[in-house]
Amino acid sequence: MRIATYTRISTDEDHQPYSLDAQADRLGNYVASQDGWELVRRFTDQASGATTERPGLKRALAEAKAGRFDLLLVYRVDRFARSVRGLAQLLEELDGVGVAFRSATEPFDTTTPAGRMMVQMLGVFAEFERATIVDRVIAGMERKASRGGWCGGSRPFGYASDPATGFLVPVEGEAPLVPLIFDRYAHSREGARSVATWLNEAGHRTRAGRPWSHTAVLTLLRNPVYIGQVYFRGTFHPAPHEHLVDGELFSQVQALLTERGENYSKRASATSEYLLAGLIVCERCGKHFVGSSAMGNRYRYRYYTCFTRQRYGVAHCDAERLPAEEMDDAVLRALRTTYERSDLIERAVHGARDRAEGQRARHEQELAFTDTETAKAEEAIERYLWAFEAGTLSEAQCGARLAKLGAKITDLRSRREDLLLAMDQASAEVPSDAELSTVRAHIDDALANGATPARKALLQALVHEVRVQSREEVVPWFRVRSDASVKVRALGGLAPPAGLEPATHGLGNRRSIL
């Protein structure tokens, strides 16, 4: 009888009561003790028994269908499968191709109904044992997290897990960068992309050894681990590890993330009655204006107030408050006037074309490099998968590397999309008179009849930003929307250099702006 053996472990051999070598030796001895048995094939896996998607098991089933052995031998049933459903499915596949199944330590004859029943019972116990182990592990990890221990997973940048205590400890080469990143974002008024560029130009890399992206910076800025908290199963727990950022700076960054629309967890609740929320920029301190209000004797007055002034007082920024109704109306009127000037829009589109054309060579070179790096990463993933399927690399050995390569490909593809978008500016078309007329009709309708959500959506789509030096110096920048997005600024001759477009009388006395 031709015999094939199957062995499996789910973690590293140092902590396994039945290692691969031990299982293989005992199965080999068992085969040698049986008359007429010949060991012809060996299959092995280093993966969880909860799933049947295992390379070694798949090869065993494929060779069973090819008739290359007559009996599949395992050391214990739980080495073969850890779920009743999976075990039943595997036994059915083997039975369908005429291959017997046997456990060396649990000798039941699966060719008889009684033997199959006993094997099924062993599968029930194996599934129960696995579920019990999972519950105990989770309970232990919850207790560890409640004491502030790190429960595994991708470690945060700047920290490593101390194997002796289970707590996080600062990493010498990474920890000093964390407060600098928070400081640049909060106090130097740099965005996530700017911070990532600074890190890359300085030669710094992420924990995985890749260049910094704006998403990696945002992930770091949102992580409360830097103020002494660890996360496990939906709960944050206080931890005794060293804080890399003080609580006040962390709170300031979270407020700024929300203000800039980069705090995704709060973005859904960020709607408000303020049409220009997130669009008005203070020229004095670089922060955005936020909606605020004050109650008079009979009425509620709405304003746009600089975030710095609102948060820290006029000692840090003395930018004037802007009456919200007049500001909204002025920007809407300026927007309509801008879209009436087809010559202005044509000049803006041609300017965008010229800039894109001037950078085309650099973009094409970077695009070629991006495609080459993507192809290399995909080829590397294919090699790892072949090695894994061939059994020369374990899941533990290649899993982490595959995750890194996958993340690299994601970053490269994102950068490729950015480059293609930038290159498309070279072919941007000037909107037709009909398209401009449609936009003006939408603006007119929003001015006359639009509810707050509709008017806000219009402004968020067509206004790039509104830069404010004072009530008398307000300059909006608009977008031309015809697939391409091109910024248009109020130019000399259209409006006074220090005013809204069209000409304004200022916002000082809260008069209408005409």
**Per-residue model confidence (pLDDT) at position 264:** 44
CA pair distance 310, 325, nearest whole angstrom: 19
Q: Which pLDDT belongs to residue 4?
A: 92
Residue 118's pLDDT is 63
Domain presence at residue 295: no
With H, G, I as helix, E, B as strand and everything else as coil, classify residue 44.
Answer: strand
Of 510, 464, 446, 443, nearest in space to 303 by CA: 510
| 395-437 residue pLDDT tens | 666 667 777 777 788 778 777 877 777 777 666 666 666 776 7
Residue 346's pLDDT is what? 72
For residue 452, give its domain range: 326-349+432-489
Residue 103 scores a pLDDT above 60: yes
Q: What is the distance between the alpha carbons of residues 334 and 504, in angstroms, rounded to a whole number?
A: 10
Residue where one domain finishes, among candidates 143, 159, 193: 143
Q: In a 3-state reduction of DSSP, which class is residue 428? A: coil
Please give the mean pLDDT across all residues of the chain. 75
User: What pTM was estimated for this model as a whole?
Assistant: 0.36
CA 127-128-131 angle, to 5 degrees, is 85
So what's the pLDDT on residue 110?
Answer: 57
For residues 127 and 139, state if they share a domain.
yes
Ranges 20-34, 146-160, 310-324: which has the least confidence: 146-160
Residue 30 sits in the same domain as residue 130: yes
Residue 389 lies in a domain: yes
pLDDT at 371: 87
Cα four-point dihedral sign 266, 268, 273, 275: positive
**C-alpha–C-alpha distance, residues 294 and 302, integer Å:** 7
- Considering 267, 299, 334, which residue would you say is the last residue of a domain? 267
374 and 441 both lie in a single domain? no
pLDDT(512) > 60: no
DSSP 512: P
Residues 127 and 49 in one domain: yes
Question: Which residue from 508, 434, 436 is spatially nearest to 471, judged by alpha carbons?
Answer: 508
pLDDT in tens, 304-327: 999 888 877 788 888 888 998 898
Half-sphere exposure for 348 (CA within 13 Å, toward CB): 23
Is 310 part of a structural domain of the chain?
Answer: no
Whether 70 maps to a domain, the answer reads yes
pLDDT at 197: 87
- The count of other CB atoms within 10 Å of the CB of residue 414 is 14
Give the N- to C-terminal CA distance of the chain in Å, as an integer.
97
Length of the chain: 514
Single residue among 143, 160, 195 that ends a domain in this structure: 143
79 closest CA partner among 87, 91, 68, 70: 87
Same domain, 233 and 338: no
Least confident of 51-55, 58-62, 195-199, 465-469: 51-55
Using the predicted structure, report yes or no on whether residue 230 has a pLDDT greater than 50: yes
Rounded distance, CA 118 to CA 108, Å?
7
115 and 179 fall within a common domain = no
Whether residue 454 sits in one domain with residue 407: no
Q: Answer yes or no: do 51 and 130 share one domain.
A: yes
Statement: residue 134 has pLDDT above 70: no
CATH number of domain containing 105 = 3.40.50.1390
Residue 486: its pLDDT value, please?
A: 43
pLDDT at position 137, please? Answer: 61
Q: What is the pLDDT of residue 12?
A: 44
The total domain count for the chain is 4
Is 10 labeled as catalytic in the residue annotation? yes
Q: Is it the case that residue 279 has pLDDT exceeding 80?
A: yes
Q: Are residues 93 and 113 in the same domain?
A: yes
